[in-house]
Every structure is written in C-alpha cells, then in structure tokens.
A and B are shown apart, each in its own frame.
Chain A
Amino acid sequence: MGRYSAWEIIKQGLTGNKGWERAWRDPEPKARYDAIVVGGGGHGLATAYYLAKEHGIRNVAVLEKGWLGGGNAGRNTTIVRSNYMIPGNTEFYEFSLKIWENLSQDLNYNVMMSQRGQIVLFHSPAGRDAAARRLNIMRLNGIDGELLDREQVMKMVPHLDYSENARFHILGAAYQPRAGTARHDAVNWGFARAADQLGVDIIQNCEVTGFLHDATGAAIGVQTTRGEIRAGKIGVAVAGHSNRVAQMAGVGRLPIEAHALQAFVSEAVKPHLDYVIAFGGIGHFYISQSDKGGMVYGGDLDMYNNYAQRGMLPVVHDVHECVMQVMPSLGRARLLRSWGGIMDMSMDGSPIIDKSPVEGLYLNCGWCYGGFKATPASGFCFAHLIAKDEPHPAGAGLRLDRFRHGAMIDEKGAGATAWHH
C-alpha cells in the first residue's frame, strides 16, 4: 500500500482512479497475538498504532464487534481542546493537543485538524472568576489561553445574542486559540490504515464474549464470535461498554456508568461560525460549523443509565433552547440529523488508563463526553502502559485506584458526583 500524496492523486486521476487500494486489510483472526486490543474505536486503533510504531510490537489485533468508528469515535461533535486545570488532566490533554498538531503528517492521512479556536462564554461575575482561574492555571502549565471581555467577543462573533434582555447575558469568554475540531471518521480511518501498514490486524464483526484465564487467574486470551484468540497482553478500550467487559473479564465492577449523549447537525449553511463556541454552568452547550456547512452541536447527557444509541426528547428540547438563547440567527435552520452514543461516565468525570487487578489485562475507560480530543494521547499512553507495564508520564495521573483513595480528578470542582453520572 502506497503513501497518499499530491502526486498519487494526479496519477490516479489520469488513470481513472482505478488504482486505489483498500485502506486496510480484512484479515482472518490468527490463533495468537502478542497483544490484543478490544474495541475498534479511536482509542483502540490509536493504541494498536502506537504499540507497533513506538514499541515495535506488531503482532497485534484490534477486535471490534461492529464496524470501525461505529461507536463514539464516529458519533462525537469533534471538539479538540486542552483547557483542563486539575493535575492529571492538564498535562495529559495538552500532550494530546501537541500530537494532534502533527497527526495528519504522522499518519499520512488528513484528519482535517482545524485549530480555529474555542470560545467558552461566561454569563456572570462568578463565571468570569472561574474562567480567569482556569486560564491562569493553564498558562502556568504552558498552555495557551486568553480572557476575553464582552467587546472582544462581540468583535470575534458578532452574531450572538448580546441584547440587554438576553437570558444568558454574555460578559466575556475564555479563549483557547489552539483548540478546534478534527474530522472524526478521518481520525479512525487514519489510525486504522497506519496501524495496518505496520502489520496490525484489524478485525471487524468480532465481538469479545468471554475471557480465557490461566490457573493463576491471569488473562491469556479471549472468546469471540469468530473463535478463541490468545494473547500475551490484552488492552480493553470499549468506551460505553467498559463496565460490561470488565465484569466479563473478572476485573469486577468499575466506578463507571453508561449514559447516552446526543449530537445534532443542521442543514448546511454558508460560513457562519469561525470558532467553536461553548458554555456551561447555566445550560450546557457547544457548537461549531463543519466544513460541509452543517452546524454541529450538543449539550448534556440524557442523565440516566442508558445503552441505547439514541436520545430522548427532553434533551433535544434543552439543547435547542440553548441554540435560541445564544445564536438566535439559527432559528430557521432545519435540524437534519441527530443521534446518540454511549458514554463511559466515570464517577469524577475523568478517564482511567491503568493496569487492572487481573494480570495481563489493561483498562482504558472513563472518557465521559470528552474522549475524542484524547484519542492520540490515550493510544500513546495506553500503548506505553501495555508495552512497558508502567504508565507514561503524561497519563500517570489517570489511575483506577484514585476513587478508593479519595484522590479524584474532579474537573468540575463539584465533589463526588456519584449518582450524577
């Protein structure tokens, strides 16, 4: 399989585009691999890629029960940012953003990373204080961020509702210029193709239904809908199904619940929004415009345990109230599509990349509604953990036992939200 290049496009164009090869193979599963990654979302694919690229472990399989990107990796609203302020998260998400900045070149696949900047509005003096504090912490950690006043926001995004009687009065915003969006499908396909080129077997329609253990209890393989597969090491990156798979594997229950998050896309309109706009606190809302012109947006979880990949009307209602409060100019745009994905909501809202109590089994979960931006760093750190049996420094704070010790990474600062998610 060749590299993608401008020259290749011209050559293929002149020969009727008949010479393009499939982007990755469709191999039969082997009886044994050095490592298996369960889950062919962005995180699983990135993990396999970095196992092969960084650690030379190429006899690897990614086992996906459906099709690549059929989970959250292909359902998210594609926002990439690193405006986190609690140790554990801060360094991890900035590490991720740095990988994003070169990801297209590294994968030889255009992931359409667009650093258009994210503007997080605040609507109260307390919101301003919180934004200033977050930005200060980010800057102390070498992350870009600026506090914008109302006039600056008005200049950058003139068509929000700045009227005096606006329900969400806009006082200013926290701005991260290096944040933006990337194309989610391209990220999955790019990692899949690059991993495949390094020898990784990507096996779709292969659901893991059980685990094989040796006499000491260590995990030595999996049962799947396509037969038994043995492996030296097994990484689990199944997002919304983390608790299900962990219990199946003998790890026991996780501090995680499955919840649905919805996304919405409007009909295509002319260029209307140059930035990602978001706000939280009062309401919860984020919006950007895709390259095709659709407004892509979302809000809160459906807020009850949920394994159905579609949402319910109360959240549809809430989210569109937010649209109308902040961007009334979209009032007559038609909603084209909406869908849901199953989030692995951890009890503190932060992720877990760690060894499990079962020897040979590694966990990558708890991504909540923010794991797309984490995709490259998650794969990088998880591959490091699997290959070396010790955490990568950038992901070393994301431990499973933090709940037991009360050392939560509680980004919202709201305390333990045990039954909230």
Chain B
Amino acid sequence: MLRIPCPYCGVRDQSEFDYGGDATVNYPALDASEQEWFEAVYLRDDPKGPHTELWRHARGCRMWIIVERNTVTHEITGARPANPAHAEVLKRDFELETT
C-alpha cells in the first residue's frame, strides 16, 4: 500500500486516491500544431526511477496533488498541491495549513 502525504489532509492510504499520470506533460495551446498535441497526448518519458505524477485525493479532499515517487522502489519524496493558487485561497479563507 502506498502511503501518500496529501498536502491538505496528511498521510493517507493509496486507496483514497486516483492516479492522474505524468505531471510533467504540458498541454499546448488549443491552436498549437498537431505534432505538439500528439506529443502531449500520447508520448511519455515513462522513467524507471523518480517520476513526477498527478494524484487526486478522490475519496478525501478531492484535490489534485503532485507527488514525487520512484517507479521502482515506490519511495515518495514529496507531495504538493497541483494548483498552488487554489491552495493559497484555501489557506487564506479557511486557514488550512498546506505544506
């Protein structure tokens, strides 16, 4: 069982989360070339080792987060909000501590 440190809720079991894939993919502008879209949608680095990836705390706070995980050892070395602006608002309005 992975134990994912949700920046909003703390450490939780992997079964509370859904996986969202490689977080380093940058989707291009809507009018970008077919080549750019092809690369963003289909091609992946697929590294063996450290991987920056999206998870959603679907059965928790429902927030998207970015996790640094090793794809061989499963060691998790970091987790941060996927949308820092969103996290800022939460912190300001609800005094939520995010790490």
Binding site for B on A (CB under 8 A): 241, 243-244, 247, 252-258, 303-308, 312-314, 317, 347, 403-404, 416, 418-420
Contact = CB atoms under 8 A, between A and B. Distances in A.
A256 B46 contact: yes
A255 B1 CA distance: 28
B38 A243 contact: no
B14 A418 contact: no
A307 B72 contact: yes
Nearest to A258: B46
B74 interface: yes
B11 interface: no
A401 B54 CA distance: 27
Contacts of B54: 419
A310 B41 CA distance: 28
Contact of B20 (A252, A255, A313, A419): A419
A69 to B, nearest CB: 21
Most buried by A among B14, B22, B48: B48
B48 A416 contact: no
Contact of B42 (A306, A314, A418, A420): A418
B41 A418 contact: yes
Nearest to A318: B15
A249 B54 CA distance: 28
Interface string B64-99: 000001011110000000000000000000000000
Contact of B1 (A253, A256, A313): A313
B28 interface: no
Most buried by B among A253, A307, A313: A307
Given A254-B43, A258-B71, A419-B20, A307 B15 contact: no
B79 to A, nearest CB: 14
A258 B22 CA distance: 12
Interface majority SS (helix, strand, loop, mixed), chain B: mixed
Contacts of A244: 46, 48
Interface of B: 1-2, 14-15, 19-22, 34, 38-39, 41-48, 51, 53-54, 69, 71-74
Contacts of A347: 41-42
A420 B21 CA distance: 7
Nearest to A346: B42
Contacts of A308: 71-74
Contacts of B20: 419
20 contacts: A243-B45, A244-B46, A244-B48, A253-B39, A253-B43, A253-B44, A253-B46, A254-B43, A255-B44, A257-B21, A257-B22, A257-B46, A304-B19, A305-B21, A305-B22, A306-B71, A307-B72, A308-B71, A308-B73, A418-B42
A312 B48 contact: no
Contact of A403 (B2, B21, B42, B48): B42
B13 to A, nearest CB: 8
A403 B38 CA distance: 8
B42 A312 contact: no
Contacts of A314: 1, 14-15
Nearest to A416: B41
A305 B53 contact: yes
Give the most central of B21, B46, B69: most A CB within 10 Å.
Answer: B46
A313 B1 CA distance: 6
Contact of B38 (A241, A257, A306, A404): A404
Q: Residue among B34, B44, B47, B72 with the most chain A CB within 10 A?
A: B44
B22 A255 contact: no
A317 B45 CA distance: 30
A52 B1 CA distance: 46
B52 to A, nearest CB: 10
A378 B51 CA distance: 31
Contacts of B43: 252-255
B1 A312 contact: yes
A307 B74 CA distance: 9
Contacts of B42: 255, 347, 403-404, 416, 418
